């Protein structure tokens, strides 16, 4: 587009549009679009700096080349070629007439005609071309056009293939005018009117608006151009209807109209690519719903598992503590029953008291505690195995769903990546589960607990540990009665000394038991909580490649959704500016 003939406002608008389209390209680049779509948008942007382009399309043998020749008033294009040899031809101004073959499917035709200084034409192969490559070439050039002339033949107007082609090109947001060629073959005005009404009805339904429809006889227009008789020439031109189309292109499509269509053209292409990008984004978000739901459910499952473990631990530790509470109660009862004046002489026999303590109080407290701790270990290992199984099953179900989906359609790179992660993480979890050695896990945790308990005041909870406790209490000065028996009377001993010694023994025992309970509770709690944390950390580590990727993908998809909405707003805004400025 020659910026020298544009006003300052129009130049600024052009630059603004290029910025918006550049932003759009950056956003569209995030999506797995067909490369051809992006190329068409880039080409339409580049053509902002080129002449107005009219692309002539229609079925093979509809008379496209003949119409262009008639419109330009010269035999520039070859007519009557077969569909298998047809190619795209770009007509542009040139001082010397001639055709330059660019490649097998495209050539440039130069011709010294003033109209071609303002407008370029593209003559395309038929939309029903036998050669699919030629049909593709036609479709490739439609997005580059600023205006589409759709040629239909009067003897077969708006065929099924023509309707299908119109539906495809309208998605590019093109301005379309329809030419019904070969009206000279119709018998009368009534037949012509039927063809016109039929064409308008079908075209309006497909395009969503009523396009300009021109009734043309390219054959009579060409005869008029060849005639040397002025009256015959005038009559043929009138009957050909070519003047209406000529006026439309030269006058109705004036500088302002052509500029507006030129500026709006890439916006239509951008909207088409935007729609494709939005559909992909919606599909991504839809598919990510299942992935996000799974990732969130796995994290929720692990969080709940960790919470349940921590909630369930205190009551289970309380069961261990209850054994010590019962032990303490038996001990206090023992002191109450043994520390009496009636048993004064036996109290001096510390070995006998120790033996009675072991038989009546200690009993099998060590094995009871060991069994409870063992139950706690078994429970911990079983809960650990259960959560691994549940995560493995959840991933396996999603993997099956993903495989079913993969079998129903082609997958983009991001989707394949997610499915690969599901498979890899699922396999990783399944490997852990299948290789889970419960006996080994129980033994390892048992060793860890035993080592932890060994550091408490209840070392081993066995005979040695309890024996130390008994020796500490029973042989303490609180119960040293030997000198008391020989030094005082039984009355004094019964009234003052024994109750005092009994209270000392109980207090000492209670103090020791409190230390043992606190030490054992703290040690077991720390050990099992540490095991819980390590177990949960292993779970999170195994699923993190999948959950982290899904989270990142979801954030990116939502960001893309926002970016696409912003691009749409920019495209709409610049369209309104074009309408007001041009």
Q: What is the pLDDT along the chain (582 residues), one digit of tens a residue?
A: 544 456 778 878 888 999 999 999 999 999 988 888 898 899 888 888 777 888 898 887 888 888 888 888 888 888 765 654 467 888 888 898 888 888 777 888 999 988 888 888 888 877 765 555 555 556 677 877 888 999 999 988 888 888 888 887 777 777 889 999 999 998 788 889 999 999 999 888 888 888 899 999 988 888 888 888 888 888 888 888 998 988 888 887 777 888 888 888 899 899 999 999 999 999 889 888 888 888 899 999 999 999 999 999 999 999 988 988 888 888 888 878 876 756 656 665 666 767 777 777 777 777 788 888 888 888 888 888 888 888 888 888 887 777 766 555 455 666 677 667 777 777 777 776 676 676 776 677 667 666 665 555 444 444 444 445 554 554 444 444 444 444 444 444 444 556 777 787 788 878 888 887 888 888 888 888 888 998 899 889 888 888 888 888 899 999 999 999 999 999 999 999 988 887
CA distance 17 to 212: 28
**pLDDT at residue number 2:** 47
**pLDDT at residue number 546:** 85
Output the six-digit token pair for 143: 């997005």
Output the six-digit token pair for 172: 């590019």
Answer yes or no: are the C-beta atoms of 38 and 25 closer than 8 Å.
yes
Task: List the domains of the chain with CATH numbers.
Answer: 52-264 (3.40.50.300), 291-545 (no CATH)
CB count within 10 Å of CB 546 equals: 25
Q: What is the side-by-side order of every strand in the sheet holding 98-103?
A: 98-103, 106-111, 88-93, 119-123, 52-58, 147-153, 176-181, 213-215
Q: 194: alpha, beta or left, given left = phi > 0 and alpha = psi -120 to 50?
A: alpha
DSSP state letters, 365-423: HHHHHHHHHHHHHHHHHHHHHHHHHHHHHHHHHHHHHHHHHHHHS---HHHHHHHHHHH
CA nearest neighbour of 179 among 154, 200, 150, 137: 150
What is the Cα Rg of the chain in Å?
Answer: 47
CA nearest neighbour of 319 among 374, 380, 388, 395: 374
Q: Is the dihedral of CA 242, 245, 250, 252 positive or negative?
A: positive
Residue with tokens 């520390």: 339
DSSP for residue 495: I
**pLDDT at residue number 473:** 52
End-to-end CA distance of the chain: 14
Chain centre distance of CA 81 = 50
DSSP for residue 173: T
3-state SS class at 147: strand
pTM of the model: 0.64
CA distance 567 to 436: 53
Name residue 520's beta-bridge partners.
none
Task: Say if strands 88-93 and 98-103 run parallel, antiparallel, or are unpaired.
Answer: unpaired
CA distance 225 to 360: 131
3-state SS class at 124: coil
CB hemisphere CA count around 420 (13 angstroms): 8
CB count within 10 Å of CB 422 equals: 23
CA distance 343 to 360: 16
Answer yes or no: are the C-beta atoms of 224 and 237 closer than 8 Å.
yes
DSSP for residue 174: -
Please write down the long-range contacts of 476-483, taking CB distance under 8 Å and 24 or more positions apart.
Answer: 476/504, 476/505, 476/508, 478/504, 478/505, 478/507, 478/508, 479/339, 479/347, 479/350, 479/353, 479/504, 479/505, 481/344, 481/347, 481/348, 482/348
Answer yes or no: are the C-beta atoms of 88 and 131 closer than 8 Å.
no
CA distance 405 to 415: 10
CA distance 189 to 181: 15
CB count within 10 Å of CB 5 equals: 9
DSSP state letters, 264-298: HHHHHHHHHHHHHHHHHHHHHHHHHHHHHHHHHHH
Answer yes or no: are the C-beta atoms of 120 and 56 closer than 8 Å.
no
Output the six-digit token pair for 122: 């593209």
**pLDDT at residue number 309:** 92
């Amino acid at each position: 587009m020659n910026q020298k003939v544009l006003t300052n406002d129009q130049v600024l608008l052009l630059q603004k549009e290029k910025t918006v389209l550049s932003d759009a390209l950056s956003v569209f680049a995030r999506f797995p679009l067909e490369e051809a779509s992006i190329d068409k948008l880039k080409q339409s942007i580049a053509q902002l700096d080129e002449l107005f382009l009219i692309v002539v399309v229609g079925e093979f043998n509809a008379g496209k080349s003949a119409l262009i020749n008639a419109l330009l008033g010269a035999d520039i294009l070859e007519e009557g070629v077969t569909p298998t040899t047809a190619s795209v031809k770009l007509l542009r101004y040139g001082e010397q007439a001639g055709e330059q073959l660019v490649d097998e499917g495209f050539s440039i035709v130069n011709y010294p005609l003033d109209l071609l200084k303002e407008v370029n034409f593209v003559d395309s192969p038929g939309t029903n071309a036998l050669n699919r490559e030629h049909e593709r070439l036609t479709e490739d050039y439609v997005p580059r056009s600023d205006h589409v002339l759709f040629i239909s033949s009067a003897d077969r107007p708006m065929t099924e293939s023509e309707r299908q082609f119109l539906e495809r090109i309208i998605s590019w947001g093109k301005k379309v005018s329809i030419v019904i060629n070969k009206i000279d073959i119709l018998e009368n005005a009534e037949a012509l009117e039927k063809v016109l009404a039929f064409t308008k009805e079908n075209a309006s339904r497909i395009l969503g608006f009523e396009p300009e429809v021109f009734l043309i006889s390219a054959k009579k227009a060409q005869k008029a151009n060849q005639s040397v008789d002025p009256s015959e020439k005038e009559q043929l031109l009138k009957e050909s209807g070519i003047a209406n189309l000529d006026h439309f292109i030269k006058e109705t499509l004036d500088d302002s109209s052509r500029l507006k269509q030129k500026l709006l053209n890439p916006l239509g292409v951008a909207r088409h690519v935007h729609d494709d990008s939005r559909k992909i984004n919606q599909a991504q978000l839809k598919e990510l719903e299942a992935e996000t739901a799974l990732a969130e459910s796995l994290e929720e499952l692990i969080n709940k598992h960790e919470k349940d473990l921590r909630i369930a631990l205190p009551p289970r530790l309380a069961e261990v503590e209850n054994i010590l509470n019962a032990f303490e109660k038996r001990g206090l009862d023992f002191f109450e029953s043994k520390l009496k004046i009636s048993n004064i002489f036996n109290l001096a026999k510390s070995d006998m008291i120790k033996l009675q303590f072991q038989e009546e109080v200690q009993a099998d407290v060590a094995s009871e505690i060991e069994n409870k701790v063992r139950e706690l270990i078994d429970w911990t290992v079983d809960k650990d195995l259960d959560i691994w199984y549940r995560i493995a099953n959840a991933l396996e179900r999603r993997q099956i769903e993903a495989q079913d989906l993969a079998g129903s359609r082609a997958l983009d790179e991001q989707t394949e990546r997610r499915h690969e992660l599901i498979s890899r993480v699922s396999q990783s979890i399944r490997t852990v589960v299948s290789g889970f050695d419960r006996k080994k896990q129980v033994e390892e945790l048992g060793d860890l607990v035993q080592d932890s308990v060994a550091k408490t005041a209840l070392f081993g909870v066995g005979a040695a540990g309890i024996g130390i406790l008994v020796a500490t209490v029973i042989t303490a000065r609180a119960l040293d009665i030997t000198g008391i028996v020989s030094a005082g009377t039984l009355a004094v001993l019964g009234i003052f000394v024994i109750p005092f010694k009994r209270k000392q023994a109980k207090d000492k025992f209670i103090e020791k038991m409190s230390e043992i309970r606190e030490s054992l509770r703290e040690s077991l709690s720390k050990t099992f909580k540490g095991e819980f944390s390590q177990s949960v950390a292993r779970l999170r580590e195994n699923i993190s490649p999948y959950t982290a990727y899904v989270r990142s993908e979801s954030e990116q998809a939502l960001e893309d959704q926002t970016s696409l909405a912003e691009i749409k707003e920019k495209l709409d805004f610049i369209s309104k500016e074009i309408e007001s400025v041009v």
